[in-house]
Amino acid sequence: MSTMTSANLAKEMVKEHSQDALLRYRMPLIVLSQVVLICFSYYSSFVLRLDSSFNAEAHSLFWQTLPLVIVVKLVIFYHFGLLRGWWRYVGMSDLLNITSATFLASSLLFTMIVFVVALHGYPRSVVPIDMVLTIMLVGGARFGVRAYTERAKEDGTQKKTLIIGAGRAGSAIARELKVDPALGYYPLGFVDDNPGKLGIKINGVKVLGNTDALSHLIKHYEAECVLIAIPSARGYQIEQIIDKCRQSKVSFKILPPMSEQLNGTASIKQFRKVRVEDLLSRNPVQLDLERIRDQVQDKVMLITGAGGSIGSELSRQIATFEPRRLVLFERSENDLFRIGNELSAKFPHLDLVSVVGDILDVTSLREVFSLHQPSSVFHAAAYKHVPVMEKNCFQAVTNNIFGTYNVALVAKQFHAENFVLISSDKAVNPTNVMGVTKRVAELITLALQGNRTRFLAVRFGNVLGSNGSVGPIFEAQIADGGPVTVTHPEAKRYFMTTAEAVGLVLQASTMGNGGEIFVLNMGEPVKIVDLARRMIRLSGLEPDEDVQIEFTGLRPGEKLFEEIRLEGEGVKPTPHDQIWVFEGGQPSFEHVRRWLEELSTLVESRNVHGLISKLVSIVPEYGPSEQVTALCEVDRHDQASVYMRARTTLARDIA
């Protein structure tokens, strides 16, 4: 065993030494190879043109013009970058460069030899023949090296892999695997549902069959892994594929949808485990990236709540569009540190400003706006957990309503171009404190419309993977062996991915004139119990057998299903077929100021009954939960007096 190890080590050392030597002399070797190919091509042109007439005089013309041919072609090849680069990665762009360089060189040589030097008896047709041969030889040599390096050889350590999807993404993956065996995957073939591709080879990898035959193909070719390389696949298609993979007991990974690859190309490094959001049966959201870039590039962007789930993803996507400065405003020091470190590593040239601050601190907000003058503000800071806010209604009103008003008013005072409020579908016919505070925040935003700032709101459904959402909760419960707890067997929600949610925010910031509420067409609502079953199966387990599902009943303030529009909200068309826009109405600013004054008094006095009554008067469609109603009953009798006694005692103790 030791002898074998030593021998392998020696072989690796010799191989590395050879590679180092090739790298050191790569440029001279490339030049030498080009000179050889140029000479051979030029000589062959004379032979093909003159054949038996290639006499001593013709040989003399060949030797007289050869140095000129070599110099001109090398200079032009150098200008086109053909004397550097890696031949193993040659592609169509390189072939176009070779063709352009050769055509230019041949045109120049023809002019110099025929008209400038004017050699007597020189066969003019040699030049075009030489041009064709040069393209064939120089290009052929490169593609020959690529073909040699891409030959896939199974060495026993690689996983036998089937690639689902023989499109652009799958083709790029197959090529990457063939070029670099160290990645650990051996491409057995493609699986694609396009009958026109059956049997053809793409990058040397054959299309073996369609997804209906996947189980048979896995067994026949003894596949160990399946890579799903269809970024545009629908949820039900992916679910069918992974069901076959699970039945065949092979591992599987997926290439993320295009919404997660804003400025990237398909790569084996992007493959990850299938997530429940990949199974959402909805067409992927297509974004107008150029409009978003025009809105963001070389401008100052400010994000409140930048350390949260939505705020963090907003920061990542905005950073890809090269803003002049990105200001992260966040109350949590730890979350701000985390996202700041991540962005600094991924975008080293980004002008990133991290500010620890609270949206209730108006002085801090004014300092930030005065110093950085943001052109767009994305307001993602909010309390969002329904059961928690039912028990903490004063904090919900203070943060979600007064905090939003602070940020929006300061944005207007400093003439920001855009203010985008992150709202929720729970603001529609709300039955909980969180939802009604978000609806009031929408009304405040719409009331501030005017002057130079465009105010708009964006309503989300449930964001899978966000902090506190059902996704992470179910994952933790499944990891513990269950049970997975679901509130009600008929409970439904609209779901969207974080990337989709953020894409909608960025797209909305480029649309409308202000005073609108934008909503993503999220397809059909999904039963939460169905989502739980999918997640259990993704973990390789069976629901109700390996992991039990328990129904716990709706929590205070929760509804069986959510809505996305209020009665009376008019739908308007948008340039984007998957985004709706509603006319949310526009209350007067004086109404808003009066609401805020009254709410402030009620919060200060800790008057639950008065607070809820006022929220109902502002949002008539609000139906308070039984828990909040019970708090109001208690409040009528003694909660306010208890609070006032506590304040009196505290003041006496301080004195």
The three state secondary structure string of 491-547 is: CEECEEEHHHHHHHHHHHCCCCCCCEEEEECCCCCEEHHHHHHHHHHHCCCCECCCE
- What is the three-class DSSP state of 419? strand
Residue 235: which of 270, 196, 276 has the closest Cα? 276
The Cα-based distances of 362 to 374, 400, 562 in angstroms read: 16, 14, 34
**How far is 644 from 565, CA to CA, in rounded Å?**
41
Burial of 237 (0-12, 13-18, 19+ CB in 10 A): middle
Q: Which helix (H) or strand (E) holds 462?
A: strand 462-464
Max CA separation in the chain (angstroms): 120
Long-range contacts of 546-549 (CB under 8 A, 24+ apart): 546/482, 547/477, 547/478, 547/481, 547/482, 547/483, 547/484, 548/482, 548/483, 548/484, 549/482, 549/483, 549/484, 549/485, 549/486
Query: Are 228 and 279 spatial neighbours (Cβ–Cβ below 8 Å)?
Result: no
By DSSP bridging, strand 325-330 and strand 352-356 are parallel
- What is the three-class DSSP state of 81? coil
Query: Are 382 and 422 spatial neighbours (Cβ–Cβ below 8 Å)?
Result: yes
- Supply the DSSP string of 189-211, one letter for each residue: EEE-S-GGGTT-EETTEEEEE-G
Which phi and psi angles does 441 have, rounded to 5°? -60, -40
Retrieve residue 322's tokens: 């090269």
Query: Are 322 and 298 spatial neighbours (Cβ–Cβ below 8 Å)?
Result: yes
Q: Which helix (H) or strand (E) holds 464?
A: strand 462-464
Place of tokens 């304040």: 647
- What is the three-class DSSP state of 573? coil
Sign for the CA dihedral angle at 508, 509, 511, 514 comes to positive
- What is the three-class DSSP state of 53? helix
572 is catalytic: no
CB atoms within 10 A of CB 475: 17
Pick the catalytic residue from 384, 412, 426, 492. 426
CB atoms within 10 A of CB 101: 22
Retrieve residue 533's tokens: 């079953």
Annotated catalytic residues are 426
